[in-house]
Chains A and B, each alone.
Chain A
């Protein structure tokens, strides 16, 4: 076969790959695009049976969320303002989300790192314990919902930020632990032994030798923990009622007895997406480097 033919085949194959990628990208991004577009439409355009592609953008939904307008007239329904819209306290939810996501991420790392180190370097609680830790993450989260709700109700943790943080930690710690453990295992033990011989303690070895070498992995895991905590909806919806409601659950308040306020849901969703996109963009080099660190030696 001539070189030209081989080259042609390669191009054809590439062309197919591109087509698949473009389709996958469209399928993935279209809902996001539609949410973005919807957030700028007025209610008649949103509820129109035929999709409206060309429209005059409006910032009403954003204004109503961000400026906390006590509306006399509901923009979407044309009726008097109703419960759900007036109770949507964007800044409170945003603050809750930030506190919960940041605290969960930091705490997960503070707890998971020494645990991962212990699992990587010792036979902590037997050979299978580390896998047992990970198995918690493999179960569907809904399994934990009922026991956690009952326990939180008993101990007064329902509708508190601490309660939601604890609930999120149950998922983030095993994940963080497992990923970091595998990275620590890739670091030669002799590096640590050399540091012991020079006088470092076990703790100093972990913090000053091993930690700097796993920084990329830690950054990647922190980004993933943050995004998980920020995006979580199920637990937030069940555990929080008023005080501790994060943005994801808050958006759900637009589903009222009088109708679903798609415009505001979309506007709130667009705002809620921004931090994860920013974190993702800033951290993408860590994500790639961190998650592939052990892959190529």
Chain B
């Protein structure tokens, strides 16, 4: 069993730089968890704390129920694939892959057998004699993975292992990695800044920013129920649109959302209104809606949740088309069917509450929707 448990873990560089703040995270045995966030959010520091390459300033880190704060990297039963592959350039692929086993003093025949097995799995057969320095990007990455997997450790750590590959190879490798992880059932922690990668591969994702976990959940939870504006903005491509407005509760369970200017004044009732946190009585909020969640309404009126806007730009595509529209004084991006046709200056009407919408407290940036708490 290789569950990983962070209990109030801090990483502070020097005296003031807080790279990881009070992290509490449980990673189940065999789970594929991604640490996702922008540069400098603390995701790599977290990974390196698990690896033992960074000291833990405060808190406890357990692997398989054992506190490993002070255990040497080599004794943690953890393997790692590095961002730049970290292959020894003076060794052949074979020696690179065999390195961890040779270090343990395993029998040469056993090593050969294991290297052949793992090479078959990763399709490395023809590359075993090639020096590390002469391998291409994708090959290096596969050798790096083979070196990590051959140890049969209970935890596999991956630090942006495919970020240096070109787009096509990245997409293929993404699938391969996920398949391999499921095949071996190894607890995996994967660091990336690419949300598509994380969403495609992970069982659960920890979205991080400024050293703190913003939300920890399944890809579906993060996309459909973001805990705060950061997660809402970070997850999803193109990103969510935000419109600052005021929330006012009327008697009879109705909610009014309006901006200072003209054009955005909607009334929610019934199920959409019931989704809003009842403890929030009213005030400054941020209305969030993903480009795909706008619903175009024919005709001129459209009902109490309809908003009119002017077309600024229209990008026709084969799979999706994008419409840039002016909604009161805010510019929003709308995803529409490829068959839709618009021209600059057209007036369009959207129903902004027909599908999903999100509300965030403008002060705390936390979600005001029920069931979207961190």
Report the separation of the CA atoms of residues A183 and B52 in the bound assembly, to the nearest whole angstrom.
26
Min Cβ gap B279→A in Å is: 48
> By the criterion CB–CB under 8 Å, are B89 and A197 in contact?
no
Contact segment of A2-10, A63-71, A173-181, A186-194? A186-194
A199-B74 contact in complex given A193-B51, A193-B53, A212-B90, C-beta closer than 8 Å: yes
Question: Which residues of the other chain, A, contact B255 by a CB distance below 8 angstroms?
Answer: none
Chief secondary structure at chain B's binding surface:
loop
Per the bound structure, the CA–CA distance linking A195 and B95 in Å amounts to 13
How long is the Cα–Cα vector from A209 to B84 in the complex, in angstroms? 16
Which one, A188, A191, A197, A213, contacts B74 given CB within 8 A? Answer: A197
Decide: A198 and B53 in contact? CB cutoff 8 A.
no
- Rounded to whole Å, the gap between the CB of A289 and the closest CB of chain B is 14
| Closest beta carbon of chain A to B81's beta carbon, Å | 9
A200 touching B90, Cβ below 8 Å: no
**A144 on interface, CB distance cutoff 8 Å:** no
Please, what's the 1-or-0 string for B35-69, where 1 marks a CB less than 8 Å from any CB in chain A? 00000000000000001110000000000000000
Does A196 sit at the interface, judged by CB under 8 A?
A: yes
Contact A198 B84 (CB under 8 A): no
Report if A193-B99 is in contact (Cβ < 8 Å); known contacts: A200-B74, A213-B90.
no
Nearest CB in chain B to that of A188: its residue: B84
Q: Which of A190, A194, A195, A200 has the most CB of B within 10 A?
A: A194
Distance in angstroms between the alpha carbons of A209 and B96 in the assembled complex? 12
Q: Restricting to B97-120, which residues have a CB under 8 Å from any CB of A?
A: 99-100, 103-104
Nearest CB of B to A294, in Å:
14
The yes or no answer to B230 lying at the interface (CB within 8 A) is no
B236 touches A (CB below 8 Å): no
CA distance A213 to B131 in the complex (A): 13
CB pair B103–A200 under 8 Å, yes or no, is yes
CB distance B86 to A198 under 8 Å? Answer: no
Instruction: Tell me, rounded to whole Å, the shortest Cβ–Cβ distance linking B94 to chain A.
Output: 15
Contact present for B78 and A197 (CB under 8 Å): yes
Complex alpha-carbon distance, A226 and B86, angstroms: 34
Cα distance, A209 to B75, chains bound together (Å): 19
| Residues from chain A with Cβ under 8 Å of B326 in the complex | none
**Known A-B contacts A193-B51, A193-B53; A199 and B100 likewise in contact (beta carbons under 8 Å):** yes
Q: Is the interface of A mostly helix, strand, loop or mixed?
A: helix
Complex Cα spacing A99 to B32, Å: 62
Q: A197-B74, A198-B74 are in contact. Are A190 and B103 (CB under 8 A)?
A: no
**Is B314 located at the chain interface by the 8 A CB criterion?**
no
Do A191 and B80 form a contact, CB below 8 Å, given A196-B74, A197-B74, A198-B100?
A: no
* B86 and A190 within 8 A (CB): yes
Nearest CB on A from B45, distance (A): 13
Q: Given A193-B51, A197-B53, A188–B86 Cβ distance below 8 Å?
A: yes
How far is it, in angstroms, between the C-alpha of A194 and the C-alpha of B79 when the chains are bound?
9
Residues of A within 8 A of B76 (CB): 197
Most buried by B among A199, A200, A209: A199
A197 touches B88 (CB 8 A): no
Minimum CB–CB distance for B104 against chain A, Å: 7
- Kindly identify which residue among A191, A193, A196, A199 contacts B88, using a CB–CB cutoff of 8 Å: A191
With A193-B51, A193-B53, A194-B80 as known contacts, state yes or no: A199 contacts B103, CB within 8 Å: yes
The distance from the CB of B46 to the nearest CB of chain A, in whole angstroms, is 15
Residues of A with C-beta under 8 A to B100: 198-199
- Interface members, chain A 183-226 (any B CB < 8 Å): 188, 190-191, 193-200, 209, 212-213
> Is B223 among interface residues, defined by CB-CB distance under 8 A?
no
Which one of B82, B83, B89, B99 contacts A198 once the chains associate, using CB atoms below 8 Å? B99
Q: Could you tell me the distance in whole angstroms from the C-beta of A218 to the nearest C-beta in chain B?
A: 13
A198 CA to B148 CA, complexed, in Å: 9
Q: How far is the CB of A18 from chain B (nearest CB, A)?
A: 36
Is B310 in the interface zone, CB < 8 Å from A? no
User: What separation, in Å, do the CA atoms of A194 and B99 have in the docked complex?
Assistant: 10
CB of B217 within 8 A of chain A? no
Q: Is the CB of B83 within 8 A of A190?
A: yes
A193 touches B82 (CB 8 A): yes
How far apart are B235's CB and chain A's nearest CB, in angstroms?
Answer: 29
Of B52, B83, B90, the contact of A197 (CB 8 Å cutoff): B52
Known: A196-B53, A198-B103. A209 touches B88 (CB 8 A): yes
Knowing A199-B100, A199-B103, the reply to whether A194 touches B86 (Cβ < 8 A) is yes
> Which residues of chain B come closer than 8 Å to A200, judged between CB atoms?
74, 103
C-alpha gap A285/B333 in the complex (Å): 61
Contact between chains at A199 and B104 (CB < 8 Å)? yes
For B87, the chain A residues whose CB sits under 8 A away are 191
Decide yes or no whether B233 CB sits under 8 A from chain A: no
B residues near A212, Cβ cutoff 8 Å = 90
Q: Does B170 count as interface, using CB distance less than 8 angstroms?
A: no
Q: Is B244 an interface residue (CB 8 A)?
A: no
Query: Is B151 at the interface (CB under 8 A from chain A)?
Result: yes
Q: Does B151 lie within 8 Å of A198, measured CB to CB?
A: yes
Per the bound structure, the CA–CA distance linking A195 and B87 in Å amounts to 10
Answer whether residue B73 sits at the interface, using C-beta atoms and an 8 A cutoff. Answer: yes
Measured between C-beta atoms, what is the minimum distance from B58 to chain A in Å?
A: 22
Assembled-state Cα–Cα distance A200/B76 (Å): 13
Contacts of B73 in A (CB 8 A): 193, 196-197
A residues in contact with B89, CB < 8 Å:
213
Chain A residues with CB below 8 A from B103, complex form: 198-200
B residues less than 8 Å from A190 (CB atoms): 82-84, 86
Closest-CB distance, B105 to chain A (whole angstroms): 10
* A197 CA / B147 CA spacing, docked (Å): 11
Query: In angstroms, how far is the closest chain B Cβ from the Cβ of A252?
Result: 46
Q: Which residues of A contact B74 (CB under 8 A)?
A: 196-200
Q: Could you list 8 examples of A-B contacts with CB < 8 Å?
A: A191-B87, A193-B73, A194-B86, A195-B88, A196-B53, A197-B51, A197-B79, A199-B103
- A binding-site residues for B, Cβ under 8 Å: 188, 190-191, 193-200, 209, 212-213
For the complex with contacts A212-B90, A213-B89, 13 further pairs of A-B residues with Cβ separation under 8 Å are A190-B84, A191-B87, A193-B73, A193-B80, A195-B88, A196-B52, A197-B52, A197-B53, A197-B73, A197-B76, A197-B78, A198-B99, A198-B100
